């Protein structure tokens, strides 16, 4: 059966989308270091300075662009590496990286975050896969920092945040930071050729998915105390928080579905016996729950940002990254199972994105739309970065393993 996922012309359409997104992101470098926040028109908002997670995501994307043969992006990846290795993000006294810097390059936050440090690993791994100068040195530092200050061997998880000197750890524990740490570990495992990173990723996935999501009707509890007891009412008074919203997040269910398929494939490549048999069925269940809960609340297209623990929509704004993860999850599930339902869904999600999310006039994707599909800024003003959208255009064209950037380095684009 011919599907978009097997049609060369669709791959060419995806390539055009990748190119357009990367071009939109080109104005993002800041002279002081890092990559800045882009507004709805693609203009750089210099007054905001730079946030570590955005700078790392852009470095990751530009490194991948360099490996795809897009001229002009290798220097941008190098700018990102320099900003992280020796630039204003680097805390030269305590180690690690500041979460944000001001427009003139001074630290804007004294908190060290596992979420952003996970993206340092991802950026460094992608730049190292692209053979960019000093990227492997950056990767080694990022991995050492992760193990020394965030990874807890007893818990098999990372803590969320530390003080600037790493002397104290915030008691809050979260799944979002662990999800992006898993993503980073997948890339690090392929670049370093050290399977220990996959085994750490499996420990994270086992707790989050095999234990907690499975026992909660496949809705992932996101927030915990320091003993990893779930806080199901966390942020009840701030339900639409950008990073720690109340309730279950269908987009994260989709993202976890995809990531555990990548992890399963990576473990299988080492030794099929190391890839637990719960992983592919769990990915199916996470995906099904996310679609049932999140898609088209109120009868209009798009995914709700959050739902309650009974699946009732809570925040019905549509965020672009959720649609991007739906595309990635459908493509990954089709690759893993060959079930035609995922090819059908894949086309459905791209039809939605093409109609409501891609900004055909100004470029990139609207980061937020209201339930009627109109661009909105209730949660996410502007178009800060292109990471989720770029990955949605690449995941369908790559194998499940190795990770995205190492796969590009190996010449595996459109080899599936």
CA distances (Å), origin 210, targets 85, 198, 206, 356, 411 = 36, 16, 5, 34, 33
Catalytic annotation present for 252: yes
- Of the residues 223, 320, 334, 388, only one is catalytic, namely 388
Are 369 and 357 within 8 A, CB to CB? yes
Helix or strand or coil: residue 240?
coil
- Of the residues 252, 264, 335, 367, only one is catalytic, namely 252
Nearest by Cα to 135 from 94, 182, 74: 74
d(C-alpha 38, C-alpha 362), whole Å: 12
The angle, 0 to 180 degrees and rounded to 10, between the axes of the packed helices 320-337 and 387-394 is 20
Chain center to CA of 371: 24
Q: How many CB atoms lie within 10 A of CB 75?
A: 13
The angle, 0 to 180 degrees and rounded to 10, between the axes of the packed helices 279-294 and 320-337 is 140
Q: Which two tokens stand for residue 391?
A: 């990955």
CA distances (Å), origin 80, targets 121, 140, 337, 352, 393 = 12, 16, 37, 33, 22
What is the gyration radius of the CA atoms in the chain, in angstroms?
20
Are 308 and 314 within 8 A, CB to CB? yes
d(C-alpha 89, C-alpha 101), whole Å: 7
**Residues known to be catalytic:** 252, 388
């Amino acid at each position: 059966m011919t599907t978009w996922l097997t049609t060369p012309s669709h791959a060419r359409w995806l390539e055009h989308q990748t190119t357009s997104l990367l071009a939109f992101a080109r104005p993002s470098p800041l002279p002081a270091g890092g990559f800045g926040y882009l507004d709805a028109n693609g203009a750089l908002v210099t007054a905001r300075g730079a946030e570590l997670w955005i700078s790392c995501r852009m470095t990751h994307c530009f490194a991948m662009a360099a490996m795809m043969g897009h001229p002009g992006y290798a220097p941008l990846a190098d700018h990102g590496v320099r900003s992280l290795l020796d630039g204003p993000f680097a805390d030269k006294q305590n180690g690690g990286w500041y979460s944000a810097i001001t427009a003139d390059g001074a630290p804007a936050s004294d908190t060290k975050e596992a979420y952003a440090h996970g993206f340092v690993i991802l950026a460094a791994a992608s730049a190292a896969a692209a053979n960019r100068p000093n990227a492997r040195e950056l990767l080694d530092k990022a991995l050492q920092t992760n193990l020394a200050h965030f990874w807890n061997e007893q818990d098999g998880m990372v803590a969320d945040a530390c003080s600037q000197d790493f002397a104290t750890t915030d008691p809050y524990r979260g799944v979002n930071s662990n999800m992006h740490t898993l993503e980073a570990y997948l890339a690090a495992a392929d670049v370093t050729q050290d399977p220990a990173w996959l085994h750490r990723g499996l420990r994270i996935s086992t707790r989050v998915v095999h234990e907690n999501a499975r026992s909660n009707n496949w809705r992932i509890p996101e927030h915990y105390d320091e003993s990893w007891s779930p806080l199901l009412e966390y942020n009840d008074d701030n339900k639409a928080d950008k990073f720690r919203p109340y309730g279950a997040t269908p987009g994260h269910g989709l993202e976890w579905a995809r990531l555990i398929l990548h992890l399963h494939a990576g473990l299988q490549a080492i030794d099929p016996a190391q890839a637990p048999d719960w992983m592919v069925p769990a990915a199916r269940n996470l995906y099904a729950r996310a679609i049932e809960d999140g898609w088209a609340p109120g009868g209009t297209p798009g995914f709700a940002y959050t739902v309650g623990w009974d699946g009732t929509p809570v925040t019905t704004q549509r965020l672009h990254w959720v649609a991007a993860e739906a595309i990635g999850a459908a493509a990954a599930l089709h690759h893993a199972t060959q079930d035609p339902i995922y090819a059908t869904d894949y086309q459905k999600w791209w039809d939605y994105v093409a109609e409501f999310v891609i900004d055909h006039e100004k470029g990139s994707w609207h980061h937020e739309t209201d339930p009627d599909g109109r661009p909105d800024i209730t949660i996410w003003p502007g178009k800060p970065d292109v990471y989720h959208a770029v990955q949605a255009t690449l995941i369908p064209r790559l194998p499940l393993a190795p990770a995205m950037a190492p796969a590009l380095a190996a010449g595996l684009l459109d080899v599936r």
